[in-house]
Amino acid sequence: MKPGKFLLLIYISLTLMIVPGCWSRRELNSLSISQAIAVDLEPDGKIVLTFLFVKPDSGQKQMGGGSGSGMSYVLVSEKGETLFDTQRDIYLSLPRKLFMGQNSLVIYSEQAARAGLGPLMDLFFRHKDFRLTNYVFVTRGKASDMLKFQPNLESNPVREIFGAITYAHMRVSKTIPKDIKDFLIDLGAPGIEPVLPEIELVPKLAGEELPQSGSSGGGGPSQKTKLRLAGMAVFKEDKFVDWLSPDETRALHFAVAMGHLGIEIIPGPSDKKLAVEIIGGTSKIKPIVKNGRLFIRIESTSAANIGETMGVKGIDNPDLINELNKETENVIRERIEKLVKKAQKEYRSDFMGFGSAIWREMPQYWKEIENEWDELFTEIPVEVVVKVDIKGIGMASDYSNER
Amino acid sequence: MPLEKGKISGKQLTVLYITTIVASAVVFLPGVVAAKAQQDAWISSIIAAITGFFLALLVLRLHSRFPEQNVIQYSRTILGKWPGLITGAGFAWFFIHINAVIIREFGAFLATVLPETPPVVFMALIVLLSAYYVRNGLEVCCRIAEFYFPIFVLQVVVIVLLVVKEVRWQLFEPILGAGWGPVIEGIFPPVMWFGEVITMSMILPYLHDKSQAARSLFLGVLLAGILFFLASFFTIGVFGGDLTANLNFPVFELARTISIAQFLERVDAVLMSFWVAGGVIKITTFNYCAVLGTAQLLNLSDYKPIILPLAVIQVFMALTGWENVGQLKYFINDIIAPYSLILFEGGIPLMLLVIARIRRLGVTK
């Protein structure tokens, strides 16, 4: 290699070290990273967005400080005509660039949900920062209030909610996690209406309240309330219709196979109660045409364990277990039947996806009835077939406190 | 004196073909197909790949008749001087125009993700890089593709493996719910992509071992078909037909849903860099065909002087050809299929083959 060329190579390599950069770069210390967005709709039609931003520089060190200024997150609200317009107005009061790529929750107030979530979700679908895997919630009161509780174990409320929704549905099946993608899929598919999990703040029980640390003068999140995920919000198209209670949500789990998990309380012999733990299963919604009449059959099959006997004796007796199978089946069947009735008569929303099942199994037939499905749905006969199989009884058979 | 002195191997041809087809196909195509075929888009993708074999066969038949000539040269042999020149000019225009579409597509994609950078920066950089490859000849282009290919296959496979747990099998039903009509409608856009095999008719003459032509090209169609099928299948499985149709970049969105134990997530930035690298190779292939074809039409003794002017023209066309993304989408979905498929990827090659048979031109067995 000629010396001239060699020098040129060194020159280029050296320049490469200094010159390159990124055009649209965003450095961590110039960002405000949003983790949750609460969407409220004012009576006058204005939109209020509340962002929860983490402070990137505070990190874990100031956790547990308790006092208002020691928090590792801030809430910022703005009011505007559309979501995007409102989001941009945040710049007027914030010293940093907004970054929503880490956003993991979107919370809507009941008011917003009643007005229809389609338009209010468009930004999250269209904007490049948001992922379709953001969890979506609906709350009864103001959405922004849901970010104002004292987190228990995590550093901010969002991580607290995120953790709860991640584990709760696998253990109690009283809530169903839904992200933007799920909502949009249900909204777009024929014959199914979306549901979204409910989030609320409930008063702490007396046993939970820690003694105040003295200096909690003004501000700071309320120490008296705690997070609760329970129940679902039912939609008709993108508009909120009504709530499902936690128990009805469990029925929904069993009907549409979101998960067959959680505890069922079963009446046992001599007025005692048992807790049966459902550990898994499948269910199928089958449209069946018999003698020219269409009806729906919900087939739900679960496996279970005895979780707790509360004093019931002889739990290792196969006859008793068979009886308990029947009892559990009855409990679940009643639940599902009640939910179906409510869906048909009260809510008139096909959130269990009967229409969708017809569309999947008999697309030709669906085309014929699609237009009058809203009416048909409320009258369609539904048969519920439940099968429960108790497999295990835990680590003990009986205990004897009487001789 | 030949314009291109390089020789490539069969493997390089396969790799160049796959990268050329799939680089942009996996980014944009599943949404385009789903818009027509809904949840049956994956069926369309299989049929499209099969159709791709026939288009490749067409190119191979012409190649076996005129093993030392490319499409621009043999159209002149077959049709005579002036009609041949016009057809050849048509092909050169086709390569330039389609390249402008591709450049604009990648520009639009990057501009959506990085809105603060002017799109012309992306386009100019990509085309400059590809012009540099072309300047260094076919062998360099192929080696770049060869270097990049394993990464590309790996990233498609990795996306697929990581989203398997997100797939909801229900979303595939009803299969053929609306009959074959929408499925057939859905095969046109991907067939157009597979029809880009016509670029290989510019490259086949430089194959070192002629006997490998058919094998390498068919292998390419097969692998490209598999990759494209995976992309369609899993976007449908995760998003369903309706949502996939509404997403502009479904596979990018697919990569963003990846979340393994809240630890392995946000891999989309890495994947995007691979796609851009693939896009550069795709643009290079078209650029090469455009440059070589134009040089042959003009009877130049060297193609290097026209690389930069053509690059500038392509970027200019990409910038000004469509006023907005709406127009670009309309152009790709509704106009380009008859234009490119019926005319340049299928129609004219078929006509050339038929006339060559009637006139008994070229090598016959």
B154-198: pLDDT as tens digits: 888 888 888 888 888 888 888 887 778 888 888 888 888 888 888
Query: Looking at the structure, do residues A272 and A403 belong to the same domain, yes or no?
Result: yes
A20 assigned to some structural domain: no
* B242 in contact with chain A, both atoms CB, cutoff 8 A: yes
pLDDT for the residue A175? 87
pLDDT for the residue A196? 92
Nearest Cα neighbor of A176 from A109, A52, A262 is A262
B331 assigned to some structural domain: yes
Task: Residue B116: give its domain's CATH number.
Answer: 1.20.1740.10
Give dist(CA A130, CA A116) in Å, integer: 20
Instruction: Return the C-alpha torsion angle B57, B60, B61, B65, nearest 10.
Output: 180
pLDDT for the residue A188? 87
Query: Looking at the structure, do residues A177 and A316 belong to the same domain, yes or no?
Result: no
A11 assigned to some structural domain: no
Q: For residue B174, is the peptide bond before it cis, meaning its omega torsion is within 30 degrees of 0?
A: yes
Give dist(CA A45, CA A333) in Å, integer: 43
A362-384: pLDDT as tens digits: 888 888 888 888 888 888 888 89
| Reported confidence tier of residue A40, pLDDT bands at 50, 70, 90 | very high
Cβ contact B256–A132 (<8 Å)? yes
| Reported confidence tier of residue A214, pLDDT bands at 50, 70, 90 | very low
Closest Cβ opposite residue B243 in set A188, A361, A363: A188
Average pLDDT of A191-217? 75
> Which residues face A382 on adjacent strands?
A296
Task: Write the Ramachandran bin of B109: left for phi over 0, alpha for psi from -120 to 50, otherwise beta.
Answer: alpha
Specify whether the CB–CB gap between A175 and A230 falls below 8 A: yes
pLDDT for residue A65 is more than 70: no
Query: Looking at the structure, do residues A234 and A265 belong to the same domain, yes or no?
Result: no
For residue B192, the SS3 value is helix
Query: Looking at the structure, do residues A299 and A281 belong to the same domain, yes or no?
Result: yes
A121-170: pLDDT as tens digits: 999 888 888 888 899 999 998 888 888 888 878 888 888 888 888 888 78
Cβ contact B256–A363 (<8 Å)? no
Structure tokens at B291: 């440059």
| Reported confidence tier of residue A37, pLDDT bands at 50, 70, 90 | very high
B281 assigned to some structural domain: yes
> How many domains, in total, are found in chain A?
2
| Reported confidence tier of residue A102, pLDDT bands at 50, 70, 90 | confident
Q: What is the DSSP-derived secondary structure letter of residue A269?
A: S
What is chain B's alpha carbon radius of gyration, rounded to the nearest angstrom?
20
Give dist(CA A204, CA A185) in Å, integer: 36
Query: Looking at the structure, do residues A351 and A234 belong to the same domain, yes or no?
Result: no
Give dist(CA A52, CA A35) in Å, integer: 6
pLDDT for the residue A402? 57
Cβ contact A181–B259 (<8 Å)? no
| Reported confidence tier of residue A45, pLDDT bands at 50, 70, 90 | confident
pLDDT for residue A63 is more than 50: no
Give the minimum alpha-carbon distance from B190 to chain A in angstroms, rounded to a whole number. Answer: 24
Non-local (6+) Cβ contacts of B190 within 8 A are B25, B29, B33, B44, B45, B48, B49, B228
pLDDT for the residue B132? 92
Q: Which residues of B touch A133 (CB under 8 A)?
A: 256-257, 259
Residue B260, Cβ density class (10 Å: 0-12 exposed, 13-18 middle, ≥19 buried): exposed
Query: Looking at the structure, do residues A47 and A89 belong to the same domain, yes or no?
Result: yes
Q: Which residues of A touch B174 (CB under 8 A)?
A: 359-361, 363
Q: Which residues of B touch A363 (CB under 8 A)?
A: 174, 177-178
| Reported confidence tier of residue A67, pLDDT bands at 50, 70, 90 | very low
Non-local (6+) Cβ contacts of A31 within 8 A are A56, A96, A97, A98, A99
B221 assigned to some structural domain: yes
Cβ contact A131–B238 (<8 Å)? no
How far, CA to CA in Å, does A172 sit from each of A166, A328, B178?
Answer: 12, 16, 39
**What domain range is A43 assigned to?**
28-206+221-244
Give dist(CA A268, CA A250) in Å, integer: 21
B1 assigned to some structural domain: no
Query: Looking at the structure, do residues A129 and A266 belong to the same domain, yes or no?
Result: no
Q: What percent of chain A has pLDDT over 90?
A: 10
B363 assigned to some structural domain: no
Q: Which residue has the tokens 């005692």?
A: A272
How far, CA to CA in Å, does B102 sit from each of A126, B26, B126, B252, B318?
Answer: 23, 13, 11, 17, 8
Question: Which has more pLDDT, B328 or A29?
Answer: B328
Average pLDDT of A204-233? 69
| Reported confidence tier of residue A400, pLDDT bands at 50, 70, 90 | low
Query: Looking at the structure, do residues A174 and A282 belong to the same domain, yes or no?
Result: no
Nearest Cα neighbor of A217 from A64, A68, A65, A63 is A68
For residue A214, the SS3 value is coil
Average pLDDT of A61-65? 45
Q: Which residues of A touch B242 (CB under 8 A)?
A: 185, 188-189
Cβ contact A188–B256 (<8 Å)? no
Task: Residue A273: give its domain's CATH number.
Answer: 3.30.300.210
Backbone angles phi, psi at A70, to 5 degrees: -85, 5
Query: Looking at the structure, do residues A239 and A275 belong to the same domain, yes or no?
Result: no
Q: Which residue has the tokens 């042959």?
A: B296
* B246 in contact with chain A, both atoms CB, cutoff 8 A: yes
Q: Which residues of B touch A24 (CB under 8 A)?
A: 114-117
> Which residues face A304 on adjacent strands?
A278, A390
| Reported confidence tier of residue A59, pLDDT bands at 50, 70, 90 | very low
By C-alpha distance, the chain A residue nearest B240 is: A185
A271 assigned to some structural domain: yes
Chain A residues 114-173 with a CB less than 8 Å from chain B:
128, 131-133
Residue ranges in chain B whose pLDDT is less than 50: 1
* B175 in contact with chain A, both atoms CB, cutoff 8 A: no
| Reported confidence tier of residue A218, pLDDT bands at 50, 70, 90 | very low
B364 assigned to some structural domain: no
B215 assigned to some structural domain: yes
Specify whether the CB–CB gap between B218 and B56 falls below 8 A: yes
By C-alpha distance, the chain A residue nearest B175 is: A360
B235 assigned to some structural domain: yes
Query: Looking at the structure, do residues A154 and A238 belong to the same domain, yes or no?
Result: yes
Helices (H), A172-303: 180-188, 246-256
Chain A residues 197-226 with a CB less than 8 Å from chain B:
none
Specify whether the CB–CB gap between A137 and A190 falls below 8 A: no
A23 assigned to some structural domain: no
Query: Looking at the structure, do residues A316 and A375 belong to the same domain, yes or no?
Result: yes
> How many domains, in total, are found in chain B?
1
Query: Looking at the structure, do residues A187 and A298 belong to the same domain, yes or no?
Result: no
Closest Cβ opposite residue B239 in set A185, A360, A363: A185
pLDDT for residue A217 is more than 60: no
A307-364: pLDDT as tens digits: 888 877 777 788 888 888 888 898 889 989 999 998 888 888 888 888 888 888 888 8
Nearest Cα neighbor of B46 from B241, B226, B234, B223 is B226
By C-alpha distance, the chain B residue nearest A162 is: B262
> Which residues face A191 on adjacent strands?
none
Give dist(CA B302, CA B291) in Å, integer: 10
A111-120: pLDDT as tens digits: 899 998 888 9
Give the minimum alpha-carbon distance from B242 to chain A in angstroms, rounded to a whole number. Answer: 6
Beta strands in B208-332 (DSSP E): 259-260, 264-265
Give dist(CA A100, CA A32) in Å, integer: 9
**What domain range is B232 assigned to?**
10-340
Specify whether the CB–CB gap between A391 and A303 falls below 8 A: yes
Closest Cβ opposite residue A363 in set B171, B174, B243: B174
Instruction: Return the C-alpha torsion angle B229, B230, B236, B238, nearest 10.
Output: 180
